[in-house]
Chain A
Amino acid sequence: MYRYDSYDEAFVRARVAQFRDQVRRRLAGELTEEEFRPHRLMNGLYLQLHAYMLRVAIPYGTLSSRQLRRLAEVADRWDRGYGHFTTRQNIQFNWPRLEDVPDILEALAEVGLHGIQTSGNCIRNITTDAYAGVAADEVADPRPFCELLRQWSSLHPEFSFLPRKFKIAVSASPHDRAAIRAHDIGLRLYRDDAGELAFEVLAGGGLGRTPMIAKTVREHLPARQLLPYVEAILRVYNRFGRRDHKFKSRIKILVHEIGLDAFRAAVEEEYARSLDPEDVELAALELERIEELFAPPPYEELPARDPLHERRLAEEPAFARFARTNLRPHRVPGYAIVDVSLKPVGGIPGDVTSDQMRRLADLADRFSFGELRTTHTQNLALPHVRLRDVHSLWELLEEAGLGTPNIGLVTDIVCCPGLDYCALATARSIPIARALARRFAELDAQERIGPLSIRMSGCINACGQHHIGHIGILGLEKRGEESYQITLGGRPDERTAIGRILGPGFSASEVVDAVEAVLRFYLEGRNGPQETFADFVERVGVETFREVVYAPVRAR
């Protein structure tokens, strides 16, 4: 994985020193909160309901055991012993004190982590497939491009005061596990007819109060031209994106208002006029350097199947269940990707204690070349586990309360912090997620329901990405009461779709019953278990659910 050299280190340390001075000026009263705000935001520091919140970037979701141990130390020393993984592969600490933040950032800088641009109207952390570099179906590792984008966008002189925040995601597989169509820019890496790496460039996706699916701006962009093209998109957006209204300032509104053709023409013209061959050449050299750092770990040469592993699968039903839900195919024979669920029944989705972080770091060292991944569904993964080790790993995960076999199932709920933490929230989301998890805790029933993504947001800003959940839940406030709106038909994958509203919202006490009614209707009506919930909704339509959901729930 990527390792900082002395320049990366100097850069991040200079940034910490700069922020330390800004915090000092704020505490001394030289900066007003209004003046301080853009500085703290661009270093990942929010002001929440009860306290500051620090969001630390985990670039493209790749994390070393050393970094995870440092995150555990931060949680213990400066926070309350836990952290929260987000839908953009980052981690948040909910209780830091302002005067401690420079020290926290310095401690993070020592292990190559930072909070740069995890907030504010700038280019945010670049996200990608959590299984990048190891997925059996990918065309190339997208992370070198992500790292190039990270460096390019860090303290970008031109694009640090954009109309609104700007999110870029990269996918390198036919199966999109990074929700690139829900991003301001989505990049799909593929091999063209000549066998060369190229990008399909999409723009104008986003969720929030006006959800939109990104549209293709360029079908075929030679991979080495990535930066100038992305720069052209950003320049068009920076100049012509709306700044008159916060809710209309994302690039999706610009693309929508001027139309895809006009937008594309503006980008292509900007790209053609500003292209600098020297920039392209230097970026290509830097990409080569980065690619070397992403060289695969020293895998053993192993047969594709492991007899011991297979015997245990046959003999131990609990292990077999874990393997069915939490194992993913690895591109190297004899290895697997092991997902670690952060969604135990009764827990808070995405939360991990410092003890668990340290245990996971140890397990990563022992079983996965010291490497972990964060996923955009708020889970973790160990990306390089020998098949023969999966059983030992599973036992140790179980011991740490991290062995929940529910990846991709009904209780693997994506959920924002909601009104329990967030100043923007209009409703609680964590208690609803917990109630749902309790209702569907039974593991056989979860597997019977099959692949399902429930995603919940506590306000219209949609951090829980409810629009693209197979079942989306949006918490609103109606006349002083929390009201939960259900959407169906959303998809987070390569066929990204925005869910449609089922009907009037449910109260906190009704919403779990409503979800159960939705799922009962699906189980009764599906064409066998091979018809997934998403396919079923597509076939029968959202309307058919109305009757079966509202009558029984309201009758109770």
Chain B
Amino acid sequence: MPLFAHGRWVEDPWRHLADDEPLGDVASVTVSLNRLLGPEGPAVLAHPGRLGVRLATEDRVESLEPFLCRLGLIVVVFANFADGRGFSTARILRRRLAWRGELRAAGRIFVDQYSFLRRCGFDSFEVPDERVASWHPDNVAIPLAYRTDSEGGVASIWRLRHNRCREPRP
């Protein structure tokens, strides 16, 4: 799947394992939440490489809390473009759980959601093949937002108005 991160197309260094695929000795792997929470969990956590998790749309992000310090990547899969649960997942990870690793959006995302995704804290995007040609986030981005979620290069009007403008988080 083509991967877009920090304004450009990049190679995906992660290998995304299906539930029946062995862990092997790959350096960077992601597993499903079920696999992490299941009987194989301890083995997954003890895997020598970098570890990431793929969350399905309905997965509860809170169940990741005990493992957050072990995770380098969390992929949030959007079941369809109208299903906005993944935005809340991201917000909880970034704000409430203060997780700072790579947060990736995948599934049925479209370019016009880019600002929303970035503002919720996503920093990389698995873009569906058929949407790669039209993936020009700069054309659809709105550079301002009222709220204080100064993530994603979007300036907060409230911060600007009240002299609380900090450098937006990368």
- Residues on A lying within 8 angstroms of B by beta carbon are 5, 7-8, 10-11, 14-15, 18, 21-22, 25, 30, 35, 38-39, 121, 151-152, 154-162, 235, 238-239, 243, 273-274, 276, 278-279, 282-283, 285-286, 289
Contacts and interface: CB of A to CB of B under 8 A. Distances in A.
Interface of B is mostly: helix
Interface in B61-113: 81-85, 87-88, 91-92, 95-96, 110, 112-113
Contacts of B159: 282
Interface of A is mostly: helix
Contacts of B113: 161
B146 A11 contact: yes
Contacts of A278: 148
Contact of B84 (A162, A279, A286): A162
Nearest to B78: A161
Contacts of A15: 142
Given A282-B158, A283-B158, A289-B161, A239 B88 contact: yes
Contacts of A279: 148
Given A11-B157, A121-B82, A274-B95, A238 B88 contact: yes
A238 B58 CA distance: 11
A240 B17 CA distance: 28
A152 B146 contact: yes
Nearest to A31: B134
B6 interface: no
Given A7-B157, A11-B142, 12 more contacts: A8-B157, A35-B110, A38-B82, A155-B115, A158-B88, A158-B120, A161-B113, A235-B88, A235-B92, A238-B85, A282-B164, A286-B158
26 contacts: A8-B157, A10-B144, A14-B144, A18-B140, A21-B139, A30-B134, A35-B110, A38-B81, A151-B147, A151-B158, A156-B147, A157-B120, A158-B88, A159-B87, A160-B116, A161-B82, A161-B113, A235-B88, A238-B84, A238-B85, A238-B87, A239-B88, A279-B148, A282-B159, A285-B158, A286-B158
A14 B82 CA distance: 23
Closest 7 CB pairs of A and B: A161-B84, A157-B119, A151-B146, A157-B116, A7-B157, A158-B87, A14-B142
A365 to B, nearest CB: 30
A273 B143 CA distance: 29
Contacts of B92: 235, 274
Contact of B85 (A156, A239, A282, A286): A239
Contact of B81 (A11, A161, A273, A276): A161
A7 B87 contact: no
Contacts of B120: 157-158
Contacts of B84: 121, 158-162, 238
B145 interface: yes
Contacts of A159: 84, 87
B25 to A, nearest CB: 37
B27 interface: no
B161 A155 contact: no
B160 interface: yes
A18 B142 contact: yes
Interface size class of B (residues with CB under 8 A): 35 or more
Contacts of B144: 7, 10-11, 14
A273 B146 CA distance: 23
B169 interface: no
B8 interface: no
Contact of A154 (B81, B87, B143, B146): B146
Contacts of B126: none
Contacts of A156: 147
Contact of B162 (A30, A154, A155, A282): A282
B149 interface: yes
Contacts of A30: 134
B161 A235 contact: no
A412 to B, nearest CB: 37
Contacts of A5: 161
A155 B91 contact: no
Contacts of B95: 274, 276
Nearest to A30: B134
Best-buried of A243, A274, A279 by chain B (most CB within 10 Å): A243
Nearest to A289: B161
A60 to B, nearest CB: 16
A278 B164 CA distance: 10
Contacts of A158: 84, 87-88, 91, 116, 120
A239 B85 CA distance: 5
B134 A157 contact: no
Given A11-B144, A151-B146, A157-B119, A273 B82 contact: no
B114 to A, nearest CB: 11
